């Protein structure tokens, strides 16, 4: 056997040995992981009766007993997994467990940890635990140097449910470390209707993104008490376009005919097509017949988006609006084409809603 052949054979033997060792290591690791998972599943099963007993307890704000406070750390994981699925007294019972076991206090201390992942995890846990006592600390994390931690803090404030979170959440929309509007918007929606008074106040305070988001969330809730404040934003020509657009859209969602006059004036005078489009859409949502004639006039606008929005709004208003569209749809002008497209959309929607009859 030549020297080259001998070296090749030796290398082959070594490589085969390494492959065998690797396969054995993978097998051992898989076996260990399977055992760990089985052990955790067994321990979870052993702890579930404790969790069920906590949920079934009808006492008034009972303090968890020693069997709960001294249970393994796996109980915390079980409780945190269940919390998002629960509401009312069941959720409060498990939140008391986390507080009694010191989980909430440890998480609060971790909000100032050096590692960003620990700060983010702590914020998430405090949100799940609805730890409203720690609202100021979570609000401080809205300016954290880590974007992930800032987002986690915003989501946690929404889940915790403290109405006092509205102001810091809206403030976080501006500045060098501003949070995305979507993250803050979801947090405000999670806070629910108790924050509506604070959102009405925010219509006249803070940055333009904050006023716009406050208007949008008020519209999503359909809050009729916000109508005067939204109308004031709509009338104010010094407001940024994004704020006036949000106000117009919110008025459309609320559906109050009180806004018809302002919206029709905005549609007629412009001069920003984006504002005209949202005004037309809002008039369609409100459905006030007084908006019919201004919408017909809007069909002759130079902007195709405005024409399309006016046509869709007329179709949404009802029979009178669709009758106007049919009159215009016989022509080949831009207004006629917009009217015909809106009528076609209505016909298509009706066809899809038509029940299928069996033969």
Please report, in tens digits, the pLDDT of each residue of the chain (359 residues total): 577 777 777 777 778 888 888 888 888 888 788 776 676 667 666 566 766 666 776 555 556 666 666 677 777 777 777 777 767 777 777 788 888 788 888 888 999 999 999 999 999 988 888 778 889 999 999 999 999 999 999 999 999 889 999 999 999 999 899 999 999 999 999 999 999 999 999 999 889 999 999 999 999 999 999 999 999 999 999 999 999 999 999 999 999 999 999 999 999 887 789 999 999 999 999 999 999 999 999 888 889 999 899 899 988 888 888 888 888 888 788 888 888 888 787 777 666 655 555 54
Q: How many helices (H) and strands (E) does the chain have?
A: 20, 0
Task: Compute the distance between CA of residue 220 and CA of residue 85 in angstroms, rounded to an integer.
Answer: 24
pLDDT at 348: 76
Question: Are 245 and 329 contained in the same domain?
Answer: no
Question: Are 160 and 197 contained in the same domain?
Answer: no
Return all residues near 243 (Cβ < 8 A) that are at least 6 apart. 208, 211, 212, 215, 233
**Residue 248: which of 235, 59, 209 has the closest Cα?**
235
For residue 196, the domain's CATH number is 1.25.10.10
In a domain, 241, yes or no: yes
Domain boundary residue among 206, 229, 254? 254
Task: Compute the distance between CA of residue 67 and CA of residue 75 in angstroms, rounded to an integer.
Answer: 11
In a domain, 329, yes or no: yes
In a domain, 45, yes or no: no
pLDDT at 113: 93
Question: Are 77 and 168 contained in the same domain?
Answer: yes
Question: Are 218 and 281 contained in the same domain?
Answer: no
pLDDT at 48: 66
Domain boundary residue among 231, 254, 277? 254
Q: How many domains does the chain have?
A: 3
Question: Are 80 and 168 contained in the same domain?
Answer: yes
**Whole domain around residue 223: which residue ranges?**
192-254
Question: Are 236 and 147 contained in the same domain?
Answer: no
pLDDT at 351: 67
Question: Are 243 and 283 contained in the same domain?
Answer: no
In a domain, 202, yes or no: yes
In a domain, 353, yes or no: no
In a domain, 154, yes or no: yes
Return all residues near 254 (Cβ < 8 A) that are at least 6 apart. 218, 219, 222, 223, 224, 226, 227, 230
pLDDT at 15: 83
pLDDT at 359: 46
In a domain, 314, yes or no: yes
Question: Are 161 and 83 contained in the same domain?
Answer: yes
User: How far is residue 203 CA from its own chain's centroid?
Assistant: 20
Question: Are 248 and 271 contained in the same domain?
Answer: no
Residue 190 corresponds to which tokens in the numbers above?
Answer: 């999670």
Question: Are 274 and 295 contained in the same domain?
Answer: yes
Domain boundary residue among 235, 254, 273? 254
In a domain, 33, yes or no: no
Task: Compute the distance between CA of residue 177 and CA of residue 274 in angstroms, rounded to an integer.
Answer: 28
pLDDT at 235: 92
Return all residues near 180 (Cβ < 8 A) that are at least 6 apart. 151
Question: Are 154 and 219 contained in the same domain?
Answer: no
Question: Are 238 and 280 contained in the same domain?
Answer: no
């Amino acid at each position: 056997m030549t020297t080259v052949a001998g070296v090749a054979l030796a290398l082959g033997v070594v490589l085969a040995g390494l492959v065998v060792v690797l396969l054995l290591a993978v097998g051992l690791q898989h076996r260990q992981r399977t055992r760990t998972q089985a052990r955790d599943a067994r321990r979870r099963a052993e702890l579930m009766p404790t969790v069920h007993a906590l949920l079934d307890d009808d006492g008034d704000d009972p303090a968890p007993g020693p069997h709960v406070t001294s249970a393994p750390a796996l109980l915390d994981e079980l409780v945190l997994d269940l919390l998002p699925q629960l509401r009312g007294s069941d959720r409060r019972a498990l939140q008391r467990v986390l507080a009694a076991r010191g989980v909430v206090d440890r998480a609060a201390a971790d909000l100032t940890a050096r590692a960003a992942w620990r700060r983010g995890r702590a914020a998430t846990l405090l949100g799940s635990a609805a730890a409203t006592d720690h609202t100021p600390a979570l609000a401080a994390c809205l300016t954290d140097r880590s974007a992930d931690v800032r987002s986690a803090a915003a989501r946690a404030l929404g889940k915790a449910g403290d109405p006092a979170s509205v102001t810091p959440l809206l403030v976080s929309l501006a500045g060098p470390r501003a949070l995305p509007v979507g993250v803050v918007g979801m947090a405000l929606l999670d806070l629910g209707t108790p924050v509506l008074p604070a959102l009405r106040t925010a219509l006249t305070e803070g940055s333009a993104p904050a006023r716009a988001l406050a208007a949008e969330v008020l519209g999503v809730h359909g809050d009729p008490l916000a109508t005067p404040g939204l109308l004031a934003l709509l009338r104010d020509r010094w407001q940024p376009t994004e704020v006036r657009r949000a106000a117009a859209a919110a008025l459309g969602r609320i559906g109050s005919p009180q806004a018809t006059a302002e919206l029709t004036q905005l549609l007629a005078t412009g001069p920003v097509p984006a504002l005209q489009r949202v005004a037309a859409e809002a008039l369609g949502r409100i459905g006030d017949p007084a908006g019919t004639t201004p919408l017909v006039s809007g069909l002759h606008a130079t902007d195709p988006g405005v024409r399309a929005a006016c046509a869709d709004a007329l179709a949404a208003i009802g029979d009178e609006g669709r009758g106007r569209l049919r009159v215009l749809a016989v022509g080949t002008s831009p207004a006629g084409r917009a009217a015909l497209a809106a009528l076609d959309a209505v016909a298509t929607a009706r066809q899809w809603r038509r029940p299928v009859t069996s033969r």
